[in-house]
Amino acid sequence: MKGFFYPSKVAIFASMKEGKTGYEIVKNMVEGGFQGDIFPISPGANEDIFGLKVYPEHQGLIFDLAIVAIPAQYIPPLLEDFGAKGVKRIVIISAGFSEVGNIAAEEQIKDIAQKYQMRIIGPNCAGIMNTKCNLFTSIEVRALPGHTAFVTQSGALGGAVLMMAEELNFGFSKFVSFGNRCDVDEMDLLAYFETDPETKVIALYMEGLTKGREFLAQAGKTAQKKPIVAIKAGRSRAGMRATSSHTGSLAGEDKIYDAAFHQAGILRVEGVEEMFDLCRALNYYTEIAGNRIGVITNSGGPAVLTVDKLEELGLMVVEPSEVLKDDLKSILPPHVSLGNPFDLLAYGGAESFYEVGKRIASEYDALITIFVPTSFMDSTVIATALGKLKSETKIPIFANFMAGRLVKGAVRELENYGIPNYETGERCARVIQKIYQYSKRLKDE
């Protein structure tokens, strides 16, 4: 698989007219800063694009990765050419295969791939990316660098995810849209990312599963090394109609997926927002040792919503011990709540957040810190105090600084300290529950 992600010479077979697929891919490759050779190939083209010569054909060129976005019927002879010249890694973006009922065409390219022992990603996909070497063989928005590998069956959903990620300043190690997976499938990709040093977290969007047992076996193995966050779409009757996923070997009953995923140690999420929330946190923390969660806040309302969600998800918002209460009493003004949530009220400055956090850390497995500034308060100092707290206590800390422009600087500061911030405390709770679930499973094995 590595050959797909670290090529030295990439040939792109597609229309190079402005706004067309090939043009946009070359643009992404050049603007993205790919260091190797790029060969745009388009019959009849005679203009240079982005300072690169466009070749009318590939004869005489040597390359180790081919990106193909030409009409489906021209692909088999091209693959034969590749076979003859020893090109082993091909990404087929073109549609017009099994997804429109053209099973024969897909079987044909599978056969050719087998004959020459070449590997194919696609067809009907949105390409692949590797931010480590600025490989952007896609018309989608370029991924920012990061440590999450994103693997998607739906190309358009992949594009939407990249765009949402850009807004969140969330980065990826690799991006793979596998489309109809005529050859390279989820199992290959999981196995590769399991040992990819750039990848800490694997995120997966899938609809149908054709090889359920193999997938679960591979995922179970991979999940022991790295967390897998998965969206399995097509839960409803309408969703199954749209994906035709009822032909898969795992029955379409969603509860079966739920149980099987849980069994394999896959962290299933509902949609892309929850996926981002969880992947962001997993980049910082993959372990939460127990289910006792402490909440420190300067604001009652958001803390109540947070503890409501924590208990709903089966986490424990336990009260502090009497010894700890006495300890807290000595440092806090009267009227401050000594229970959990620890509501510092208007006394909730940086010093109080730090002091309370430091004292309660021994009795909790993770902390949620909620801070709501008024329009003239500086929330960055609170972030700095939490950074200090994190480095001294080693306990996973999650933040919910509310909201908008008043906390932008503070949120950046939190990121510098490796503390993920969420729009609401309820989102912190959901993330904590999943990471705890993952840790518990690893421990049980």
Site for a second copy in 37-66 (CB under 8 A): none
Task: Please say which residue, 61 or 164, places its beta carbon nearer to a second copy.
Answer: 164
Which ranges constitute the DSSP H helices of 40-94?
75-85
- Strands 128-130, 171-177: parallel, antiparallel or unpaired by DSSP? antiparallel
Q: How far is the CB of 236 from a second copy (least distance, A)?
A: 4
Smaller CB separation from a second copy, 279 or 402: 402
Interface with a second copy, residue 146, by CB under 8 A: no
Cα angle 27-30-31, degrees, rounded to a multiple of 5 = 80
How far is the C-alpha of 371 from the C-alpha of 296, rounded, in Å?
9
Buried b (16+ CB within 10 A) or exposed e, 92-127: bbbbbbbeeebeebbebbeebbeebebbbbbbbbbb
Tell whether residue 24 is a contact of a second copy (CB under 8 A). yes
For the sheet with 201-206, list strands across it: 135-137, 128-130, 171-177, 144-152, 201-206, 228-232, 267-268
Q: Do residues 261 and 235 make contact, with C-beta atoms less than 8 angstroms apart? A: no
Rounded to a whole number of angstroms, the minimum distance from the CB of residue 155 to a second copy is 8
In whole angstroms, how close is the CB of 130 to a second copy at the nearest point? 18
- Using CA atoms, how far apart are residues 374 and 305, in angstroms rounded to an integer? 19
82 or 379: whose CB is closer to a second copy?
A: 379
Neighbouring residues of 332: CB distance < 8 A, sequence distance ≥ 6: 338, 344, 347, 352, 356
Closer residue to a second copy, CB minimum distance, 64 or 207? 207
Number of C-beta neighbours around residue 425 at 10 A:
29
Question: Quick check: 167 binds a second copy (CB under 8 A)?
Answer: yes
User: CB of 285: closest distance to a second copy in angstroms?
Assistant: 22
Size of the site for a second copy (CB under 8 A): 74
CA separation for the pair 392, 304 (Å, rounded)? 27
- Using CB under 8 A as the binding rule, the residues of this chain from 214 to 273 that contact a second copy are 231, 233-239, 241-243, 270-273
A 10 A CB-CB count for 43 gives: 12
Among 134, 153, 393, 433, binds a second copy (CB under 8 A): 153
- Candidate list 157, 289, 338, 442; residue touching a second copy; CB under 8 A: 157
Which residues, 177 to 206, sit near a second copy by CB under 8 A?
A: 205
Q: How far is CA 152 from CA 21, 114, 411, in A?
A: 19, 24, 29
**Smallest distance from the beta carbon of 330 to a second copy, in angstroms?**
19
Binders of a second copy among residues 66 to 95 (CB under 8 A) are 95
State which of positions 1-20 bind a second copy (CB under 8 A). Answer: 19
Closest to 129 measured CA to CA, from 149, 115, 101, 104: 149
Quote the least distance from Cβ 63 to a second copy, whole Å: 24
Answer for which of 133, 164, 324, 381 binds a second copy (CB under 8 A) is: 164
Q: For a second copy, give the closer residue by CB, 32 or 83.
A: 32
Look at the block and give the residue holding tokens 């597609």.
Answer: 14
Candidates 283-291, 357-365, 388-396, 419-427; binding stretch for a second copy (CB under 8 A):
419-427
- Please choose, out of 161-169, 210-218, 255-263, 385-393, the segment that lies near a second copy by the rule CB under 8 A: 161-169
Q: Which two tokens stand for residue 272?
A: 């892309």
DSSP 8-state code for residue 56: S
State which of positions 355-394 bind a second copy (CB under 8 A). Answer: 372-376
Residues 6 or more apart whose Cβ sits within 8 Å of residue 309? 425, 426, 429, 430
Q: Which is nearer to a second copy, 48 or 311 (CB)?
A: 311
Q: Would you count residue 304 as binding a second copy (CB under 8 A)?
A: yes
Q: Is 7 helix (H, G, I), strand (E, B) or coil?
A: coil
Q: Quickly list DSSP for 116-168.
A: HT-EEE-SS---EEETTTTEEESSSPPPEEEEEEEEES-HHHHHHHHHHHHHH
Residue 318 in tokens:
């336990």
| Stretch of residues binding a second copy (CB under 8 A), selected from 74-82, 85-93, 298-306, 381-389 | 298-306
| Distance in angstroms (rounded) separating the CA atoms of residues 79 and 77 | 5
The answer to the question of residue 409 lying near a second copy (CB under 8 A) is: no
Task: Out of 129, 141, 219, 278, name the contact with a second copy by CB under 8 A.
Answer: 141
Task: Kindly indicate which of the ranges 38-46, 60-68, 127-135, 295-303 contains the residues binding a second copy, using the contact rule CB under 8 A.
Answer: 295-303
Site string for a second copy, 307-346 (x = CB under 8 A): xxxxxx----x-x---------------x-x-xxx-x-xx
Nearer to a second copy, 42 or 177 (CB): 177
- Beta carbon of residue 5, minimum distance to a second copy (angstroms, whole number): 21
Instruction: Output 220 or 294, the one with its CB closest to a second copy.
Output: 294
